[in-house]
Homo-oligomer: A and B are copies of this chain.
């Protein structure tokens, strides 16, 4: 059967999100549960994928759209281009996941010179008709044909000036007719052809524009940031128009069933009287709060409240809705689970549990771990805040604290940020083109727009602080300056924003660390209950370790000892070590470092209070530590009593062509075993010391980096173990310890069976493993990765999201091989992927014991690990069911074989005996049939038992 590409709203439902997109599936669902939805059809995401394959809308899809139009015309009793009862529609994109950056809505499609006359006359509402037409031309030109909005806005401004009015609504029908003519002339000037009069031509233009918008640069950036594959495609929704601009008893709005900023359970939202949807979202006119609707149209408000209740109960989640009122009649245009701030997400989840609407497990699954990041960002230091000069107060559109230098364009934001500057992006209003700039900014401040303006919605999604609608600002974007509270601000001047209160401060206000508690704490406690993987942290200092422990870390998964060597008080000794000519010189320098390292480790052990601490031995190539300027070189030479020339020679000799693949990791321990010995002594002495007084004893884990060969690892491990045993014997105490290795070289994974014989644990260093597996270095890949994203060779940065296909295969091999020779082997990950939710899910799946990530990602990892465990449990149940089925099938086959064998045997025997052959065979078959029936019953019974569990 041919693929079905076009679905009437009445043919779909909420579970069909993958095929119909979120918007389409929910329009169908609302239709099904009897809510007032203007009817229409959805062109499926598969049609979009097919469009990209064919490079056009193929005949099959075209035919199905035509059929959809016919059905829609039947349902509405209207016809495209009809001069009696013309059909007007909106066209909207709708992907599986809500996705800013894609095509804007097109409204009023179906209008042309004749139709506009007809509806003006038939409705007696000429101004409305003319307004619809000029809007349509404007939107179609902008969205479908990419003629910039600004050309049309300029014409409107000129018209308003000519007529001496300031508001759009003050323009008359005649003005709007004239404007429409001007718009069409503008269109022809820019495009070269007349504005399309044929509604179907308009419709196909709009559909193709939706498909195309799936591949625009903004959409691609958003997808990359949000793990959305290009292959998903977008659906297109074609829906009969309801007109919010019909009259002053009409309007349009958006609303949330709960406060998307705080999660508080109260209806939130905004509406505009006598307006169409884009007026609200664009933030051009500042809308009224939804509560005002009660005053204007109480019966509509009541109906809307009822709808809200129905939807929340139906979806078990906070809803974000779009609606239109035409002549006091309510139409629902969209509902979806509302985007919310991280804080709101926690509160909503907890409230829903308390309201009995969902289980704690559902609550844990409901929170996007990536959003927790916001809550872990610093807030303003209250003391600093007291002194801070307030410039103004506007809408707190996305919480958080931001302080930085002012920039006026998205490009500047991106560029300044790339230079390491912290910037605040100040705009009249933002648009999808600004997304990359918004990502680069600490905070966003807009002059126009409400809580649901583009800036506000996008900033909340990103977890970036945003203050919107600050009308007090006198903006001069062209000259990159603005005036606020009587002061002129230029590019590079400093301001601070409080995204929760909407307050704007002059200058930089100091910030402080976030804390975890309340709903955050509740969710985390549930998460800890469900997760099976431990979460450790990557920390090199007692301070970081303490912070991570506070955030729920279960010890340290990676302490990079080299970071300690960079500190001022030891770099000198470390350089002496490097510039040694003999082992004795090297040992003398190391002797100086030993007590400092020991003190470092004591601090870490204390901070972790008995939790595991994994200490990675010196990893980077030595040339990273040597001095580069003459004075430092001279100082080093003097300290060692060597000529400057000799030191320079040594430094030169350290040069490497490919440092990433050079003399580093355990290769340093092979060439300079005395370094490993010193580090071992420091670890063991520190552990012995700390354990003397500690209740919870530390079991230090020594981690040897960069192993690629079992003999190589054994060589270094033997040195470490020998040194450990010497230290323990000298101290006359007992100490448990482990020696393991990082798996970060492909060969280590490939030969993990041998490697595991010399390791108590494996810790996957997926940063390096990714580099080696792909054969590109992170430092250099920037030169070509952009081209890879543009051509969609890559949709994800493999350094951010673990490559499960290639790198993941190596990890699975390493685990399987490693456990085969060392069943006690324990397993972790300490690459940056250890803090990435989708990678954490993979780690859970392949059986790691822990993930290790930076302190502030610990809560994210805890939540992600819990979600992974819940999902895996579900998968396990499913696969167990499948296995039972499989087993039943195999059993049946075996039985059948056995039956044949018995038949044959019986036959042979009876033939041989030459008597009773027939009876014997009949009896044998009966017997085996009975046996088979019994086995079958047994399997069915077992399946049922399993299902109960």
Contact = CB atoms under 8 A, between A and B. Distances in A.
A711 B927 CA distance: 58
Contacts of A777: 656-658, 661-662
A220 interface: no
Contacts of A913: 916, 919-920, 923
B920 A750 contact: no
A912 B928 CA distance: 12
A809 to B, nearest CB: 5
A660 interface: yes
Given A658-B780, A712-B788, A777-B658, A927 B898 contact: no
A787 B791 CA distance: 45
A659 B783 CA distance: 12
A806 interface: yes
A909 interface: yes
Interface stretch (A122-130, A289-297, A443-451, A900-908): A900-908
A2 interface: no
A751 B916 CA distance: 63
Interface stretch (A210-218, A428-436, A767-775): A767-775
A909 B901 contact: no
Interface in A751-771: 751, 754, 768, 771
Contacts of A794: 709, 711
Nearest to A712: B793
A775 B708 contact: yes
Interface string A885-924: 0000000000000100110011011001100100110011
A567 interface: no
| Chain A binding surface SS class | helix
A714 B797 CA distance: 19
A548 to B, nearest CB: 29
Interface in A15-61: none
A286 to B, nearest CB: 46
Interface residues of A, number: 64
A803 B747 CA distance: 10
Query: Which residue among A658, A663, A706, A708 has the maximum number of chain B CB atoms within 10 Å of its CB?
Result: A658
A658 B779 contact: yes
B793 A715 contact: yes
A920 B927 contact: no
A642 interface: no
A746 interface: yes
A946 interface: no
Contacts of A744: 775
Nearest to A668: B784
Interface in A701-717: 706, 708-709, 711-712, 715
Given A662-B777, A667-B784, 18 more contacts: A656-B777, A656-B779, A656-B783, A657-B780, A661-B777, A670-B787, A670-B793, A671-B787, A708-B773, A708-B774, A708-B776, A709-B774, A709-B793, A746-B806, A747-B775, A750-B773, A754-B805, A912-B927
30 contacts: A656-B783, A657-B777, A658-B659, A658-B661, A658-B777, A661-B776, A661-B777, A661-B780, A662-B780, A670-B791, A671-B787, A708-B776, A709-B774, A711-B794, A745-B773, A745-B774, A745-B775, A746-B746, A746-B772, A747-B806, A750-B806, A750-B809, A750-B810, A751-B806, A768-B775, A772-B775, A901-B901, A901-B902, A902-B905, A912-B927
Interface of A: 656-663, 667, 670-671, 706, 708-709, 711-712, 715, 744-747, 750-751, 754, 768, 771-777, 779-781, 783-784, 787-788, 791-794, 803, 805-807, 809-810, 898, 901-902, 905-906, 908-909, 912-913, 916, 919-920, 923-924, 927
List 8 A-B pairs, minimum CB-CB distance, nearest first.
A658-B777, A745-B775, A747-B806, A661-B777, A662-B780, A657-B779, A746-B746, A658-B658
